[in-house]
Amino acid sequence: MDGETLARVAYLGVILVALGGWVMVEFRQRMGQALRMGMAWGLIFIGMMAGYGLWSDIRHDVMPRQMVTEAGVVEVPIAPDGHYYLTLQINGTAVPFMVDTGASGMVLGVDDAARLGIDPDSLDFRGEAMTANGVVRTAQVSLPVVELGPFRNEGFRAYVTEGEMPGSLLGMDYLGQFRMEFADGQLILRQ
């Protein structure tokens, strides 16, 4: 143990002794009550730590997701960051997209393209797209099957971007086939 670590341990020890001393003086006639309170706060702390650790596993069950109604209407709740996210099935693979009404096409990030079996190294990046981060090169691809609930497109044109982009964008080429409505914190898509 180096000197800095030893000093920190000693400092924490002094704090624990002071806190323990206060508990002994304050609850000297009621030690049972002090133990119950200590256990209750300990369980609260453990519960909060467990919830924090499990959040990545349970957030999809707790946070609202897109829903397809019996009438074939797609309802997408607004995310905490203020965007709308749709998950499309492309050739049977779920691909999450951020809805971008300012984008003209469906743009796949390199990672999503690779998950779909598209080798980015084999693409010819001849196209260009203007983005908020400047001009990026793109390659056009054709997606055999794109599905959103009951809606199905075959041979859908998309673009793979060569630039750094976390995730993929869903632009107006795809969204234009729907009547879009923004109401009550939801994006509602109808055909």
Say if strands 67-68 and 93-99 run parallel, antiparallel, or are unpaired: unpaired
Residue 146 binned pLDDT confidence (cut-offs 50, 70, 90) = very high
Q: Which single residue is written with the structure tokens 């390659």?
A: 139
Residue 93 contacts residue 87 (beta carbons within 8 Å): no
State whether 151 and 95 are in the same domain: yes
Q: Which of 17, 36, 62 is the last residue of a domain?
A: 62
Q: Is the pTM of this model over 0.95?
A: no
State whether 85 and 19 are in the same domain: no
* SS3 call for 164: coil
What pLDDT was estimated at residue 25? 83
What pLDDT was estimated at residue 172? 93
Q: What is the pLDDT of residues 8-65, one digit of tens each?
A: 999 989 998 888 888 888 888 887 887 888 888 888 988 888 877 776 666 555 555 7
Q: Which single residue is written with the structure tokens 């607004």?
A: 78
Q: 14 lies in which domain range? A: 3-62
Count of the separate structural domains present in the chain: 2
State whether 85 and 137 are in the same domain: yes
Q: What is the pLDDT of residues 120-132, one digit of tens each?
A: 888 888 887 777 6
Q: Which of 18, 37, 62 is the last residue of a domain?
A: 62
Q: Which of 23, 41, 62 is the last residue of a domain?
A: 62
Distant-in-sequence, close-in-space partners of 113: CB < 8 Å, separation ≥ 6: 120, 141, 160
Distant-in-sequence, close-in-space partners of 85: CB < 8 Å, separation ≥ 6: 66, 76, 79, 96, 97, 98, 99
